[in-house]
Structure 1
Amino acid sequence: MKLVKPLALAAALVIPAFGAVQAQETRPNIVLILIDDVGFSDLGAYGSEIATPNIDALAARGALFSNFHASPICAPSRAMLMTGVDSHLAGVGNLPESLPLEHRGEPAYLGHLADDVVTVASRLQAAGYRTTMAGKWHLGHDEPDMLPPAHGFDRSFALDASGADNWEKRSYLPIYDTAPWFEDGKPADLPEDFYSSKFIVDKTIQYLDQGEESGKPFFSYLAFQANHIPLQAPREFVDKYVGRYDKGWHELRQSRFEGVLGKGLVPQDTALGPMPEGLKEWDKLSDDEKKSFAMNMAVHAGMLEAMDHHVGRFVEHLKETGEYDNTIFLVLSDNGPEPNDPLATPGFAQWLWWVGYSRDLDKLGEKGTYAFIGPEFASANAAPGSFFKLYAGEGGIRVPFIVSGEGIPALGTVNGFSFITDIAPTILGIAGVSATDEFEGKRVKEMTGRSLLPVLRGEKASPYSDEDAVGMEAAGNVALFQGGYKLVRNMPPYGDGEYYLYDVAADPGETEDMKEAEPERFAAMMAAYRDYAASVGALEVPAGYEQMKQLTVNRLHDRRGQLIAAALVALAVLAGLVWLAVLGVRRLVSR
């Protein structure tokens, strides 16, 4: 057994004889589309009832990955996507907002990209690409060197928070005072006609048009807010799905499972993964509750279709400008579907009222409204996997991934295992750019991911052998893959904190624990995980830790610190005023 080590990209990873790309006189443009919180079976190409024709068209002419994995949390996934380096080595081992206080300041949990990692954008920029970014960044903004301009992007319009409103510049959670948007590293406002998916495409088109005369190839990163809470979408998209989900999440989960099977994305004898314990039963809900849940899911579907619509606008623009035929697209989700029910947090309903958010079903999705699907519909969107976002079950980390474009063979479904760190070296390989452990005269961490070009050329099913062990940890949730097996631990409230072993090649629903049947494999993979954790600096979370509860703990802790600091300043000012008064009295007495 060998643990996957960081590796330098050699010239062999550059695309030699890679279909039509070889014949191009110029290097290909590269478009990276990141969808937020979309489940494995949410896209039409992956068996969904939601209309995503533009992304489906990209999938039809390229490679659709059925065994691709990310982190279960957005910030660690984005760190790995941008750098090709394990999230802990990149400095973003957990969501910064829910980091245990004990982990603050540790190298693996900085909450922003470490100084010794380099983004794929920086490497492409240095190689002569023009680079743009629009959408959610979430990799730090406390200092200017944390924002996209310092990480290789010529132009950027970035949100650095876990999410925000999609219609206006406002916070979506009480842990944020505002929505921190930055253009080219400077605080920025949003236009009056802002809608996130439309705006992200509009900005990218604007940036590309402004640099068109340079003649350089481009790398564009479109990081959509869809489908992060609050779920919001124009009425014309939502109305298509009103009534579609009236039969509830059990019916949807079964239909999604059948859709996945029909697409051949998992073995035909796959068993549907279980829903976590403690979730609601549809048949036990009141009619009003059913109507509310179904409407929230309709907004989810409308938001995803709206995003796909704007992806289609972007594709059409590339066709009109003559760039489409020399552009390669990579499309993926950062993690599984969002399960959080914010109303379950004490005081949240009052906060919604206080800041003016509505849950009126007749307007849900429109400006000023706040929708979310909760863990039950999230479980359906993750079918056939178990769990969802925040957890290391397949429903939380097995996500859609599509590679398409001129020179990419129409491979159809790719079943071999791959991981989100593999995308950066793949992009560099497509561009013909090598990545070493030195950048601009500075030693940097080598990529832990492996190029997928041999897979795209049909030479391999996976960049990993059966001996390679690929680890992942986020907020105490653990996964380690090796030879078709998966070691996994899911933390409370929906997990139990115990380790399990699954043959995910045959059982992607994680329905049969194999640790007692294969104790030697279980022990070996446990040892491999310990080696992985030690090599990247992953720490155990404190007893009783829960991610969503920690958000509140951290906010209160930081607020308390701010209040104490303010109180000390006030006392200092008061002391100064008293001293001045004493001096005044002394002068009067002396006179």
Structure 2
Amino acid sequence: MQKAWITFAIALLALVSVMDGDAAETKAAETAAPRPNIVVILADDASLMDFGAYGGEAHTPNIDALAARGAMFTQFRASPLCSPSRAMLLTGMDNHLTGFATIPEVLPSEQRGKKGYSMALEPGVRTLADRLRGLGYRTLMVGKWHLGEKADAMPQAHGFDRSFALAASGADNWEKRPYIPYYKDAPWYENGVEAELPDDFYSSKFIVDKMIAYLNQTDQSKPFFAYLPFQAIHIPVQAPADLIAKYKGRYAAGWDVLRRERQQRAKALGLVPPDAAMADLPPGYRHWTDLSVADRAVYAARMEVHAAMLEAMDHHVGRLIAHLKANGQYDNTIFIFASDNGPEPSRGDDNHLLRAWHRVVGYHVGLDGMGGRGSWGFIGPEWAAATATPGAWFKFYATEGGVRVPLVIAGPGVAAARIDAPAMMTDIAPTLLEWIGAPIGGTERGVRPITGRSLVPVLTGKAKSAYAKDEVRVIEVSGNTALYKGDFKITRSVLPLGDGRWRLFDVASDPGESTNLAIARPELLTEMVAEYDAYAARMGVLAMPDDYDSAQQTVTNNIRQMLANYPWLYGVMTGGMVLAGVLIWGLYRVLRQLFGRSAGRSPLPGVPG
């Protein structure tokens, strides 16, 4: 009996000890600093120097403040198109491993449905939202998705608890309407269900309004991951009139002057070496003096709207920051700010198909009401080349103007610093995971691996770079390619501006890619091309069809999609061809009666008399 009591006492003491231990662990967990919140802000088509902190003209005090208190990267690279960049950001994986090797609008039929080119996040691809939700985070998203266009491919299928997402590559910023003929409407979805927009909709305002609502409606005891991919400054470029007025006359000197101004500011800020040559102009570039006085006024106004749209986005980012400060969450929040690619060069005034569609749907590209409802704003290739300075060319191409974009990282434990070490879009996800103490790698069966690098050692000063000096970094989208190795870069560009040939540049001394070293350094070129070939085989990069032209492919895909969206158009087009044939035959008969018999032959070449 006594032995039983001793045994019971020992068991009781052990139980009390375990309970005390559990209580101590619980108390320690309660007193430990909570995991930080995460806010990822993505601008659309913004260049390296568009924001004030990087030397831009737009008034962007809120983003500039994040840059001032955090790490401002000067050698960050995205892909040259939106979906691949977004896939890389959210997964930490090379875009070919995600299913978004390119975007649907430029996809050739030869690649449609192939692995890596499915235009959907493929099996085994896990997003940041998937990973963070598993760690107890609230996962929230509002803005442009463009990682799948059907309801079951929206953010709720990829780890987001709440989402209000635009499936398309873009849309109007004032109302629910498409911006190109490729889309039948503006496909907005809330949690996977088609949704309407409020009457006071303006894209940047709405994105922050809805995000604040989600933050208020979800479990306040959990940290949050908030993803805000803005529509600014994707076409159509639109902004409130009062903000547009602030930039009146700022761009009246034209794009040639703006290029020189930005190049000089880039040198002053150390974004390029003091003796760096200005980037070469793209083929077909017009000088400002080539335009009529009236056209200059219209094009200057387009850049005023561009700057105002940047400021509007920054203003609403400031509203989100103010909300977090008011709720005591700001100091424990990581902020990531980046752009998905360089500036958009497309025009809205030189394409017959687009002009006809504008007339049908009620868009205009004129000066009156520019930036307001019904205005289809754009800046065009010359302003795009100017805003891409000090880089060459712009969006679509893997030249520096298309891929070198801003990156700001701020948050707890990050000292104010300027970081000139290389960083890639794939590095953001592993950086955030390491920052919060989550595993980056893993051997989960069927899960594709993260290919990016954590920047945490760089942010904390433990390493100068996440990459070894001669380590290869590669970007490829639809044949537009860049491979970086040390100070050097090889690049090739497809039609309509490129010729598909490899070029070699020393981007440390020549970031504008003005001097091609391919002939001077043939061995280095051969070595780097071989490294690209190895990358392409490893990642499953498909060769582009012969004479692939991204602009022509866009037109082809737009027409195909229009016929799918509006089946009656096929009948109209077919009927139009029949009518044209009848008219031509009738004209032939008339001409033959008038002239053919007297001459004994047909007056129409190639037609027997």
TM-score with structure 2 setting the length: 0.86
Shift in Å, 1:405: 1.9
Which residue is 2:411 aligned to?
405
In the alignment, the residues of structure 2 paired with residue 356 and residue 512 of structure 1 have an alpha-carbon distance, to the nearest angstrom, of 45
| Contact persistence 1:101–1:554 (CA under 8 A) | no
The yes-or-no answer on 1:49 pairing with 2:76 is: no
The CA deviation string for residues 373-405 of structure 1, in whole angstroms up to 9 with x for no partner, is 001001111110001000010000000000012
Which residue is 2:115 aligned to?
107
The yes-or-no answer on 1:427 pairing with 2:432 is: yes
Q: 1:546-585 to 2 correspondence within 5 Å? A: 546-558=549-561
Change beyond 3 A, Cα 1:356–1:251: same
Q: 1:280-359 to 2 correspondence within 5 Å? A: 280-359=286-365
Match of 2:91 among 83, 100, 105: 83
The CA deviation string for residues 180-199 of structure 1, in whole angstroms up to 9 with x for no partner, is 00001111110000000000
Shift in Å, 1:141: 2.9
Shift in Å, 1:352: 1.0
The CA deviation string for residues 469-501 of structure 1, in whole angstroms up to 9 with x for no partner, is 111111110101111211100112222221101
The CA deviation string for residues 421-447 of structure 1, in whole angstroms up to 9 with x for no partner, is 0011001112211133445xx421111
| Contact persistence 1:385–1:509 (CA under 8 A) | yes
Q: Which stretch of the first structure deviates more once superposed, 346-355 or 76-85?
A: 346-355
User: Aligned-residue CA RMSD in angstroms?
Assistant: 1.8
Q: SS at the partner of 1:42? A: coil
| Contact persistence 2:276–2:509 (CA under 8 A) | yes
Which residue is 1:575 aligned to?
none
Shift in Å, 1:547: 1.8
Q: More relative contact order in 1 or in 2 (CA 8 Å, sep 6+)?
A: 1
Q: 1:386-465 to 2 correspondence within 5 Å? A: 386-411=392-417, 413-439=418-444, 442-465=445-468
Change beyond 3 A, Cα 1:269–1:360: same
| Contact persistence 2:184–2:565 (CA under 8 A) | no
In the alignment, the residues of structure 1 paired with residue 548 and residue 48 of structure 2 have an alpha-carbon distance, to the nearest angstrom, of 27
Match of 2:522 among 491, 507, 519: 519
Which residue is 1:197 aligned to?
204
Which residue is 2:604 aligned to?
none
Match of 1:256 among 254, 258, 262: 262
Q: SS at the partner of 2:256? A: helix
Shift in Å, 1:212: 4.7
Which residue is 2:598 aligned to?
none
Q: SS at the partner of 2:544? A: coil
Shift in Å, 1:38: 0.2
In the alignment, the residues of structure 2 paired with residue 264 and residue 181 of structure 1 have an alpha-carbon distance, to the nearest angstrom, of 41
Which residue is 2:498 aligned to?
495
The yes-or-no answer on 1:74 pairing with 2:93 is: no
Which residue is 1:242 aligned to?
248
Which of 1 and 2 has greater Rg?
Answer: 2
Count of paired positions? 541
| Contact persistence 2:182–2:561 (CA under 8 A) | no
Shift in Å, 1:262: 1.8
Shift in Å, 1:59: 0.1
Q: 1:203-242 to 2 correspondence within 5 Å? A: 203-213=210-220, 215-242=221-248
In the alignment, the residues of structure 1 paired with residue 330 and residue 567 of structure 2 have an alpha-carbon distance, to the nearest angstrom, of 56
Q: 1:110-189 to 2 correspondence within 5 Å? A: 110-142=118-150, 144=152, 146-189=153-196
Shift in Å, 1:330: 0.4
| Contact persistence 2:139–2:159 (CA under 8 A) | yes
Q: SS at the partner of 2:334? A: strand
Match of 1:470 among 456, 462, 473: 473
| Contact persistence 1:333–1:399 (CA under 8 A) | yes
Shift in Å, 1:565: 12
TM-score with structure 1 setting the length: 0.89
Change beyond 3 A, Cα 1:567–1:354: closer
| 2:121 partner amino acid | L
In the alignment, the residues of structure 2 paired with residue 390 and residue 33 of structure 1 have an alpha-carbon distance, to the nearest angstrom, of 21
| Contact persistence 2:120–2:148 (CA under 8 A) | yes
In the alignment, the residues of structure 2 paired with residue 567 and residue 525 of structure 1 have an alpha-carbon distance, to the nearest angstrom, of 48
Shift in Å, 1:41: 0.8
Q: 1:271-286 to 2 correspondence within 5 Å? A: 271-286=277-292
| Contact persistence 1:437–1:443 (CA under 8 A) | no
Gaps of 5+ in 1: 1-22, 569-591
The CA deviation string for residues 122-180 of structure 1, in whole angstroms up to 9 with x for no partner, is 10110111110000000003251x21011111110000111000000000001110000
The CA deviation string for residues 510-562 of structure 1, in whole angstroms up to 9 with x for no partner, is 11112222222111100000011111111121122222321221233455578
The yes-or-no answer on 1:509 pairing with 2:515 is: no
| Contact persistence 2:47–2:339 (CA under 8 A) | yes
The yes-or-no answer on 1:542 pairing with 2:545 is: yes
Shift in Å, 1:325: 0.7
Shift in Å, 1:354: 1.4
In the alignment, the residues of structure 2 paired with residue 370 and residue 392 of structure 1 have an alpha-carbon distance, to the nearest angstrom, of 27
In the alignment, the residues of structure 2 paired with residue 382 and residue 313 of structure 1 have an alpha-carbon distance, to the nearest angstrom, of 28
Q: SS at the partner of 2:95? A: coil
Gaps of 5+ in 2: 1-30, 572-609
Which residue is 1:267 aligned to?
273
The yes-or-no answer on 1:486 pairing with 2:492 is: no
Shift in Å, 1:358: 2.5
Change beyond 3 A, Cα 1:24–1:404: farther
Change beyond 3 A, Cα 1:219–1:561: closer
Shift in Å, 1:567: 10
| 1:152 partner amino acid | G
| Contact persistence 1:415–1:461 (CA under 8 A) | no
Change beyond 3 A, Cα 1:216–1:350: same
Which residue is 1:363 aligned to?
369
In the alignment, the residues of structure 2 paired with residue 561 and residue 359 of structure 1 have an alpha-carbon distance, to the nearest angstrom, of 27
In the alignment, the residues of structure 1 paired with residue 354 and residue 338 of structure 2 have an alpha-carbon distance, to the nearest angstrom, of 31
| Contact persistence 1:61–1:404 (CA under 8 A) | yes
Which residue is 2:71 aligned to?
63
| 2:397 partner amino acid | Y
Match of 1:36 among 36, 44, 49: 44
| Contact persistence 1:490–1:498 (CA under 8 A) | yes
In the alignment, the residues of structure 1 paired with residue 565 and residue 331 of structure 2 have an alpha-carbon distance, to the nearest angstrom, of 54
In the alignment, the residues of structure 1 paired with residue 286 and residue 39 of structure 2 have an alpha-carbon distance, to the nearest angstrom, of 40
Change beyond 3 A, Cα 1:192–1:143: closer
| 1:340 partner amino acid | S
In the alignment, the residues of structure 2 paired with residue 54 and residue 236 of structure 1 have an alpha-carbon distance, to the nearest angstrom, of 19
Change beyond 3 A, Cα 1:24–1:313: farther
| 1:207 partner amino acid | Y
In the alignment, the residues of structure 2 paired with residue 185 and residue 484 of structure 1 have an alpha-carbon distance, to the nearest angstrom, of 45
Q: SS at the partner of 2:368? A: coil
